[in-house]
Amino acid sequence: MLIRLSMALCFSLLFSAAFAQETEVIENNTNNQFQSEKQQTQKTVTQMKAPFQKYWSFGGNVGLSFWNGGTDILLAPKAYYHVSPMFMTGFGITYIYSSAEDDFAKYSQNSFGASVFGAFRPIPFLQISAEYEGLQTNGNSTIKFAGDRDKNNYSFWNNAIYLGASFVSRNVSFGVRYDVLYDSSRSVYSSAWSPVIGFYF
């Protein structure tokens, strides 16, 4: 009786060991016939993930403001080339119309030019950018006095280099930029700091 019980116990242990060998998974062994569910999922995700494709998108900035008898209009379409998920570059054109009039003077001016830029996204929702913009400005101003009209025509070129940071949400970015070459006597902007809103399509 004792011998039969011992033999049954031995057979049970051998059967259990053999079954364990059949179903045991060694996760790091690529030659193993059996794979865990985790390995199969990782393999499927790796196979489904497509490499990044470089592509173009389009967008830019649009602005319109009215203030104390004045009007400002900004049109700045841009083309973006996405080199990688973290880096893009591109170019754009800019047109700005500005005019104002009060009891003492009035002026109007047109500015047009182009820009090139690069942007880096260390994390998906943060964009750091650098942009060069050159603008040609033509305008005239008139000083109003009784019986006199002193008209002044002017024309000048302005260079600007903007360093900026923006928050990105889907196809929209908004932030601030700073012109390191700012010259108050030549820039069409009233400050070296300016807000920026971008669209990507």
The SS3 of residue 38 is helix
Q: What is the pLDDT of residue 195?
A: 87
46 token code pair: 């790796």
Which residue do the tokens 């379409």 mark? 77
167 — pLDDT class (breaks 50, 70, 90): very high
Q: Taking the domains of the chain in order of start, what are their residue ranges?
A: 2-48, 55-200
CA atoms lying within 13 Å on the CB side of residue 101: 4
180 — pLDDT class (breaks 50, 70, 90): very high
Query: Backbone phi, then psi, for 55, in 5-degree steps?
Result: -160, 165
Contact call for residues 170 and 135 (beta carbons, < 8 A): no
Q: How many angstroms separate the CA atoms of 129 and 133, rounded?
A: 13
Q: Is 113 exposed, middle or buried (0-12, 13-18, 19+ CB in 10 A)?
A: buried
36 — pLDDT class (breaks 50, 70, 90): low
Query: Per the confidence metrics, is the pTM higher than 0.85?
Result: no
**Predicted confidence (pLDDT) per residue in 129-153, tens digit:** 999 999 999 999 887 765 555 668 8
Q: Please name every residue paired with 196 in a beta bridge, in sequence order, or none if there are none.
A: 175
What's the mean pLDDT in 66-93? 92
CATH placement of domain 55-200: 2.40.160.20
The SS3 of residue 200 is strand
Neighbours of 142 (CB within 10 A): 14
Asked if residue 43 has pLDDT above 60, the reply is no
Contact call for residues 60 and 80 (beta carbons, < 8 A): no
6 token code pair: 């011992």
**Predicted confidence (pLDDT) per residue in 10-30, tens digit:** 545 444 544 444 444 444 555
Contact call for residues 200 and 57 (beta carbons, < 8 A): yes
CA quadruple 40, 41, 44, 50: dihedral, nearest 10: -150
Contact call for residues 94 and 126 (beta carbons, < 8 A): no
